[in-house]
Amino acid sequence: MPRIDGATLTTHEHPAPAGFFMPHYTMRMQIGPYRIEPNVILAPMAGVTDKPFRQLCKRLGAGLAVSEMTTSDPRFWNTSKSRTRMDHDGEPAPISVQIAGTVPAIMADAARHNVDHGAQIIDINMGCPAKKVCNAWAGSALMRDEALVAAIVSAVVNAVDVPVTLKIRTGWNADHRNAPVIARIAEDCGVAALAVHGRTRDQQYTGTAEYDTIAVIKSMLKIPVLANGDIDSPQKAAEVLRHTGADAVMIGRAAQGRPWIFREISHYLATGELLPPPGLPEIRDILLGHLGALHAFYGEVSGVRIARKHLGWYAKDRPENAAFRAVVNAAETPERQLQLTSDYFDALIAGDSFAIAA
């Protein structure tokens, strides 16, 4: 069994079978002054959790939606990309913004800058496994330097008057699962909540997430702990909460093309009943609304380009996905993209699955 640094691994029951329902489940948690309800959270994902997607997920049941990672380097704060990521106009509270970097003083300045631009919660990224982030010793690479973790977290907490949260992985690799040590440092430095992805950095997104380390961390801390990794159904959410005792679940890749997963999970946790899947007319309307929001937010050219990956995610489970993407990706204007998408779903609703490819 891999070593977990800083804690003794206890034996937990196996996850409950499909259909398991956790009675008397608390559907809320507190982060500073903010009541998060339901406690089903959208994870920060670079290139995904932009403002249109965050707003959509919140409308469909997410209790909190964390922004995609923003740089702490002030040289890039006034770029078009950074200004777009810092746009929170009209976004429902609380607004949670993730920052990334390696220098405590610069991270503190970045926290203040984002609070000045509307952030109500600051999230520190120590969970991203991407090479371009880790090669700069940011993201999950920071977990290798526990003293630096303490310095960064303390600097950010002391810099702002809003709650600070932290996202980490279980460790650097299977032989160095030091998340419990990092968790204790974070709580001692004043972090208001901790999210833990159940993989090590070297796993990236391969293999399967493990939840024993998250359970150990939850048993150690008084602050809320959010469980993340491979939670892709209401039943899995209940299993993970039961196994770990976590205060919330954080949903990442499973929300891509399926933003209604938040209402599905929260309904199941509250009632023990599975909601019926959304019908094609509702999926069509959700997607067309999402496309329209992307076009309005990014402008016509960038909006059409960015929307293509979302179109692929929405259609990924359909047998005619490849044909649909080949056609709709050729659209160069918002009007054409919307029309092709509407035609595709109208054909599916009419029972003519391959009409779009004809």
What is the predicted pLDDT for the residue at 69? 85
- The percentage of the chain sitting over the pLDDT mark of 90, rounded to a whole number, equals 65
What is the predicted pLDDT for the residue at 358? 41
Q: Give yes or no for residue 318 having a pLDDT over 50.
A: yes
Measured CA to CA, the distance from residue 102 to residue 94 in angstroms comes to 26
Looking only at Cα atoms, what is the longest distance across the chain? 62
Domain edge (last residue) among 241, 271, 301: 271
Domain edge (last residue) among 271, 290, 306: 271
Model pLDDT for residues 51-68, shown as the tens digit of each residue: 999 999 999 999 999 999
What is the predicted pLDDT for the residue at 54? 97
Q: Please give the residue range of the domain that contains residue 288.
A: 280-357
Does some domain include residue 145?
A: yes
| Cβ atoms 87, 332 nearer than 8 A | no
Residue with tokens 């024993």, as numbered in its chain: 212
Measured CA to CA, the distance from residue 345 to residue 96 in angstroms comes to 34
Overall number of domains in the chain: 2
Model pLDDT for residues 248-257, shown as the tens digit of each residue: 999 999 999 9
261: helix, strand or coil: helix
Model pLDDT for residues 295-313, shown as the tens digit of each residue: 999 999 999 999 999 998 9
Structure tokens given for 299: 């402008």
Confidence of residue 25 (pLDDT cuts 50, 70, 90): low
Residues 249 and 321 reside in one and the same domain: no
Q: Which residues contact 282 (CB under 8 A, 6 or more apart)?
A: none
134-138, 282-286, 321-325: lowest mean pLDDT where? Answer: 134-138
- The percentage of the chain sitting over the pLDDT mark of 70, rounded to a whole number, equals 87
Residues 197 and 288 reside in one and the same domain: no
Structure tokens given for 225: 């702990």
Model pLDDT for residues 339-357, shown as the tens digit of each residue: 999 998 898 888 875 454 4
Measured CA to CA, the distance from residue 71 to residue 60 in angstroms comes to 28
Does some domain include residue 212?
A: yes
Does some domain include residue 198?
A: yes
pLDDT, greater one: 89 or 221: 221
What is the predicted pLDDT for the residue at 134? 38
Residue type, 37: E
Q: Which residues contact 218 (CB under 8 A, 6 or more apart)?
A: 225, 244, 245, 246, 247
Residues 43 and 80 reside in one and the same domain: yes
What is the predicted pLDDT for the residue at 292? 97
pLDDT, greater one: 11 or 19: 19
pTM: 0.88
For 5-29, what is the mean pLDDT?
Answer: 51
Residues 206 and 317 reside in one and the same domain: no
Residues 166 and 223 reside in one and the same domain: yes
Q: What are phi and psi of 42, to 5 degrees?
A: -80, 125
Q: Which residues are catalytic?
A: 128
What is the predicted pLDDT for the residue at 239? 96
